[in-house]
Amino acid sequence: MQSSDDDTDQTYGYFDDQNYEYVITTPYTPTPWINYLGSNEFYGIISNTAGGYCFDRDPKFRRLTRYRYNSVPLDSGGRYFYIRDENDFWSATGRPATTQLDQYSCRHGMGYSRFNASKNGIATQVTSFIPLDTKAEIHSLVVTNHTQSTKSIDVFSFIEWCLWNAEDDGANFQRNLSTAEVEIEGSTLYHKTEYRERRNHYGFYSVNRQLDGYDTNRESFLGPYRGFDRPEVVEKGQANNSFARGWSPIASHHLKLELAPGESQSLEFVLGYIEVSVDHKWHSKNVINKQPAKDMLTRFDSHEKVMDELGKLNRYWRTLLCKFSVETPDDKFNRAINIWNQYQNMVTFNLSRSASFYESGIGRGIGFRDSNQDTIGFVHMVPEKVRARILDLSSTQKFDGSAYHQYQPLTKKGNANIGGNFNDDPMWLVLSTTNYIKETGDFSILQEMVIYDGQEQATHDHFDHLLRAFMHVINNLGPHGLPLIGRADWNDCLNLNCFSDDPNESFQTTQVGASDVAESVMIAGQFVLYGQEFVDLCQQVGKIELANRSMKHIEKMRKTIEQHAWDGEWYLRAYDSRGKKIGSHKNSEGKIFIESQGFCAMAGIGLNDGKVEQALRSVDKHLATDFGIMLNQPAYSQYDKYLGEISSYPPGYKENAGIFCHNNPWIIIAETMLGHGEKAFEYYRKITPTYLQNRQTLLKTEPYVYCQMIAGKDAANPGEGKNSWLTGTAAWSYYAATQYILGIRPVYQGLSIAPCVLPSWKLIRVQREFRGAQYSIEIHNPHGLSSGKITLSIDGQPVEGNVISSSSFNGQHTVIATMV
């Protein structure tokens, strides 16, 4: 297999492709390397030492367990299992106990994590996952005695309850230290804080064995002024049977095991969430209705049942991932496309930008911009869920075509605290909708009746929402005829109407004046690109007059860009509130930006007269580094209130000349449009984690998923990553790789095949499910081309053009595409 980088650096871990796992070999990774559990409403974040938390739907308002962000020591709070062997104890997940293990590994897989540890001949395996359609984490612990003598082992579980509202939980101590309530029945420890009043949900933690003790009070378990590394109960080897009344509630089971030589015993722990109707809250006075929890527990009361549920989860993920798979000469490309990129895409669908190691789960909901973009990475896997998500997003749109920047997952209402006026938001709805229809052929989404701004009386079909999104740009143009930027565009930190001198103000929610001067070239390019998609959609549904009217607006914007936004060697980024250019060679700093080059190029503005080619040469000259393409150059060296948050970051970080990976695929796509397969792949490889194993120590973030930002050349540590997992980089990289490098692109008529690849790739095989058919596609490149004309045959019969017509095929088919 061909590869540009090697995997010789296994300081912290390595890929196991056969099992779809990343294997971490030390508890002390540069940052916590996390995984996600759950696939529908109930989710968990779990690190390589079992740190993290779980929640139902909303990580702010329905958080079950407590986690401490930016804590000392790092990654404090999780699902812990302490193993006590005589007077020694250790953690089955590597931490928080600091006892050095004889062996440790964490295997992060698709929706599960497995921890293996051993000490002095006692081995443990913890398998953590959330079963399909279940609001509970399962933690299956197997303890094995590899010694020659009988062993008496004590097992102590531990989780700490969050008092539901995660923001309030960490702030309102005058109340919270007095509200905690629990119940105990058998081997199940119930958390019912605030259940006596306005809540109709509770949590529970159970094990399928009779207890030898328990604790529900944190201080009783840990001891005064102690941390998770050395709980007093574990040290002495006996639970206190504490009962929480206020203070900080926990759930800890104590179990004594007798293990003969070679014997294994399993313990099945269930950490669950129950919601009941108001009429069925109570079993008796002040005693909660436990029956739903008991019903759930019967599903997981044996190791065989638990492993059966894990098998169902594994089959679910394999089924999702096989809807698009590829075999190229490059195993790292295959690994990214077949496993980790698709998996990350699904995680971003589930969580948007709400809960990660870098997102605390209390500050952001489901983003309008973010989630519309994210759909392009997973619509082929879960089209029905994408349809529902698009309509949810549409319902938060305002009547003038603008949108709330975020909505809350519990209520699906727009977040009024954040508001709107991010003027790139509306057109992303056009991208998600047209991309969905091209994938599925389902035009009926356009007829779905959708409310505006959460108001039932303001209801129109979804197509009307797209029209209003299109018209919002037209109705909000600035002095040059370019779109007004509002609070910001895609770059949340380019705040041209903020002018903040107050460090307590939010850059993104502070706006001064009418914002009727500052203009965005990025939105202009976006409008041309997705405006053309809107025109094509109008033509598909027979709205020819509307298509013609809309096309005039697009052509006018194209001319405006060519007249007012071309700077000689690249496209301007914006005009500020004073009408001054941003992203011009005349600026002393911030001369060139990636966003406008990407969008104007993808829109084909200047494609025929060399402007696109020149702009991409400028990107390569001024923005490209060994670690990816920087957002802007030169970096801003001091704060400028007329630019906003972008200039508040130190040079080389985040939006101030960092490598913002999200927009690198825009340049990759643009390079393929010019037929530059080698350059496109060079950029792709620089940010794709499967190629970065030899940078594990430098990168710091998980080496199996994309991160949002890599430090640029001006930073103290260029190449250092931050903000992993929940980033639009995942969807855009997948979109660029599959639809533009491999060139297998859904269109309204079917599947188009137009690859732009490395000349050394002589044969590519793709398995693709599409509109009820299964295609085995072979792309032959006998002449070593990057791109060119395609000759197509299906089941041995020549086909005119390069499009597989979906109306002509169902079932299984063999496709041969030859580059000539």
Catalytic residues: 492
Question: What does the alpha-carbon distance between residue 217 and residue 211 come to, in Å, rounded to a whole number?
Answer: 17
Tokens of 802: 């390069």
Helix (H) / strand (E) containing 531: helix 521-540
164 Rama sector, left if φ>0, alpha if ψ -120 to 50, beta otherwise: left
Contacts of residue 246, Cβ cutoff 8 Å, sequence gap at least 6: 177, 178, 179, 180
Tokens of 157: 């579980």
Provide φ and ψ at 130, rounded to 5°. Answer: -110, 115
Q: How many CB atoms lie within 10 A of CB 463?
A: 21
* CB 687 within 8 Å of CB 659: yes
Helix, strand, coil % in the chain, rounded to nearest 5: 30, 30, 40
Question: What does the alpha-carbon distance between residue 336 and residue 158 come to, in Å, rounded to a whole number?
Answer: 36
Q: How many CB atoms lie within 10 A of CB 574?
A: 30
Sheet strands (E) in 379-474: 406-407, 449-452, 455-461
624-625 and 366-367: which strand pairing?
unpaired
Q: How many CB atoms lie within 10 A of CB 501?
A: 8
Task: Give the residue among 745, 739, 738, 731 at the shortest CA–CA distance from 374.
Answer: 731
Q: Is 10 helix (H, G, I), strand (E, B) or coil?
A: coil
Contacts of residue 342, Cβ cutoff 8 Å, sequence gap at least 6: 320, 321, 324, 377, 378, 381, 734
Query: How distant, in Å, are the alpha carbons of 241, 715, 733 from that of 465?
Result: 58, 43, 28
Distance of CA 206 to the CA centre of its chain: 30
Query: How distant, in Å, are the alpha carbons of 426, 433, 601, 621 from that of 552?
Result: 19, 22, 20, 35
Task: Give the residue among 152, 153, 35, 150 at the shortest CA–CA distance from 92.
Answer: 153
Exposed / middle / buried, residue 748 (Cβ in 10 Å: 0-12, 13-18, 19+): middle
Residue keyed to tokens 């080698």: 678
Three-state SS for 592-619 is EEHHHHHHHHHCCCCCCCCHHHHHHHHH
